[in-house]
Amino acid sequence: MSGTEEIVTAAILVIGDEILSGRTKDKNIGYIADHCTQIGIQVREVRVVADLEQEIVDAVNALRARYTYVFTTGGIGPTHDDITADCIAKAFGVGIDHHPYVKQLLLESFARRGVEATAARLRMARIPDTAELVENRLSVAPGFQLGNVIVMAGIPNVMHAMLDAVTPRLRTGRKMLSVTIELLRPEGEIAEVFGEVQAEYPDVPMGSYPFNRDARVFGTQLVLRSTDPDQLAAAEARLRARLAEKGIAT
Amino acid sequence: MSGTEEIVTAAILVIGDEILSGRTKDKNIGYIADHCTQIGIQVREVRVVADLEQEIVDAVNALRARYTYVFTTGGIGPTHDDITADCIAKAFGVGIDHHPYVKQLLLESFARRGVEATAARLRMARIPDTAELVENRLSVAPGFQLGNVIVMAGIPNVMHAMLDAVTPRLRTGRKMLSVTIELLRPEGEIAEVFGEVQAEYPDVPMGSYPFNRDARVFGTQLVLRSTDPDQLAAAEARLRARLAEKGIAT
């Protein structure tokens, strides 16, 4: 892909039994999605899979073939259920071993903290061959990028640090811009005119999101999205005019 | 499948551009996962896809072939971007039309509220042929079940009402039980012994989840899971004993 590519896409792969059981409520999907939208990467799909080798390998291979980037979270700690690095190596068909620089970082950190350098702790130095490291300024053990797959921790603040570290090296495309029109009317009242304006502007995807702020007030947010600011402004103006014709103030 | 089946599985399919853009933070995955765990259904996979017909159809067909149930959220309102019902019909190769009973429910509700019965509003009566309805005690327009796919609203409190309504008709299996041992020690300290006990009890999946409650205290939750209470108790006792041998109080 070239540097002039205008649409850059991504998938998010969340790895962990604890999300599927409901024990832990995921906070990483929304964070990564927001971040990608802000920098000009379009998240097109999300999957959550269990801590099972075949599930992870299959999901990584399906997603990395379809999207510019795949961001994974979870499964890179020191315990036996942390199998993400091995699964990524398997998905790409490359070897995996202790990375000399990461091992040195960990050994220095263990020495500073006065903890023993056990085999389990040193598991966190296992990095697939040819992967680039993704710095972890919070808790030393890094993430990594192999091909178009970026592997990050599951703990939110550690993931945030890794996402910050990898962002400067990501290719980004045109930013998806959006306009939100909030109406204190139910969806049903605007659905017809909204559909008509969508048909006039097929390249500006328009979504309708009902909400209730208390038990009695039902409202609707209309969201228009485009990478082209002129198209977006034209569609917005047309929608506001058509709503006004129907007596609906925006 | 027979009524004596002991493992009942599910996937969750979240449908909506607004989740992928980060604009809306999903709260349905964790809620459905908790509910399924409590009633004896094991969620094995989650996907989030855009409001695009082929994406939805492909995901529904991939997931319904693999799991006992698929729970979908989102895309069943009155606006043009609500295409879930049509996609489910297409995935199953069945027709879709206004459901007479749902149409009647909606018309009665419109009459009570003094709103016009527009074509857009009546879109919510479109239900795939042979689907069973899933009652919506909050806002009238129902969800539905077609085969093993249960289609619910994306608004959390409406989804909760639909999940409550469909639950009595779901087949459930053995409940996944869990025990959590919380340690004020980092993962690295317990990783070795934890891995050894996991190897002794391969049928009791054990996960390790680090946490930080403030900037300085790092701890770890060890979670043991099994549908067999005796196995779970034996594995827990063994783990506590081995941790105690290492001088780690539980």
Chain B partners of A82 at a C-beta cutoff of 8 Å? Answer: 208
d(CA A2, CA B45): 34
- Residue in A with minimal Cα distance to B208: A79
CB-based contact B51:B81 (threshold 8 Å): yes
Q: Which residues, other chains included, contact B90 with Cβ-Cβ below 8 Å and sequence gap of 6+?
A: B53, B57
Report how far residue A84's alpha carbon sits from residue A71's, in angstroms, rounded to the nearest whole number. Answer: 12
Whether the predicted interface score ipTM is above 0.85:
yes
Q: Which residues contact A14 (CB under 8 A, 6 or more apart)?
A: A26, A28, A29, A46, A47, A48, A49, A72, A73, A74, A154, B46
**B20 vs A contacts (CB less than 8 Å):** 33, 42-46
Pairing of strands B42-49, B9-15: parallel
Residue B238 pLDDT greater than 60, yes or no: yes
What pLDDT was estimated at residue A2? 40
Q: Of A23, A211, A68, nearest to B208 (Cα)?
A: A23
Q: Which of B78, B199, B211 has the CB atom closest to A191's CB atom?
A: B78
User: A233: closest CA among A181, A189, A163?
Assistant: A181
Where do the structural domains in chain A lie, given as residue ranges?
9-169, 177-245
Contact flag B21-A30 (C-beta cutoff 8 Å): no
Q: Is the pLDDT of residue B144 over 90?
A: yes
Question: Is B24 an 8 Å CB contact of chain A?
Answer: yes
- The residue among B119 and B85 whose pLDDT is bigger is B85
Closest residue in B to A208 (Cα–Cα):
B79
Phi–psi pair at B175, nearest 5 degrees: -75, 140
Q: Across the strands, what pairs with B71?
A: B12, B150
Angle at A136 between CA A135 and CA A138, to 5 degrees: 150
Q: Which fold has domain B177-245?
A: Alpha-Beta Plaits (3.30.70)
Contact A205 B81 (CB under 8 A): yes
Scan residues 133-172 of B and list those with Cβ closer than 8 Å to A.
Answer: 155, 157
Compute φ and ψ for A159, nearest 5 degrees.
-60, -45
Stretch B229-238: mean pLDDT, rounded? 97
What is the SS3 assignment for A102?
helix
Residue B9 has pLDDT above 80, yes or no: yes
Query: Given CB atoms, is B125 within the 8 Å cutoff of chain A?
Result: no
Q: Do A50 and B33 touch (CB under 8 A)?
A: no
The pLDDT of B205-234, averaged and rounded, is 88
Provide the pLDDT for residue B1. 39
The predicted structure's pLDDT at residue A36 = 98
The verdict on A77 touching B (C-beta cutoff 8 Å) is yes
CA distance A98 to A93: 17
- B20 CB near a chain A CB, below 8 Å? yes
Tell me the C-alpha distance between B247 and B250, whole Å: 10
Nearest CB neighbour to A22, from listed B30, B155, B198: B30
Instruction: For the domain covering B9-169, report its CATH number.
Output: 3.40.980.10
Tens-digit pLDDT string for chain A (250 aa): 344 458 999 999 999 999 999 999 999 999 999 999 999 999 999 999 999 999 999 999 999 999 999 999 999 999 999 999 999 999 999 999 999 999 999 999 999 989 889 888 999 999 999 999 999 999 899 999 999 999 999 999 999 999 999 999 999 999 999 999 999 888 888 999 999 999 999 999 999 998 877 666 678 999 999 999 999 999 999 999 999 999 988 7
Contact B17 A205 (CB under 8 A): yes
Mean pLDDT calculated for residue range B196-210: 95
Cβ within 8 Å, pair B192-A118: yes
Chain B neighbors of A223, CB-CB under 8 A: 18, 23
Predicted pLDDT at B186: 85
Q: Mean pLDDT across the stretch B228-244?
A: 97
Chain A residue numbers with beta carbons less than 8 Å from the beta carbon of B25 are: 30
Nearest beta carbon to residue A81 from set B37, B186, B207: B207
Average pLDDT over residues B168-188: 93
Interface residue A81 vs chain B (CB under 8 A): yes
Q: Tell me if chain A has a CB within 8 Å of the CB of B188.
A: yes
3-state secondary structure of B246: coil
Q: Using CA atoms, how far apart are residues B29 and B13, in angstroms rounded to an integer?
A: 9
pLDDT tens sequence across B18-64: 999 999 999 999 999 999 999 999 999 999 999 999 999 999 999 99
Interface test with B, best of A25, A27, A79 (most B CBs within 10 A): A79
Contact criterion met (CB below 8 Å) for B43 and B12 = yes
Between A30, A82, A123, which is nearest B22 by CB? A30
pLDDT value of position A187: 87
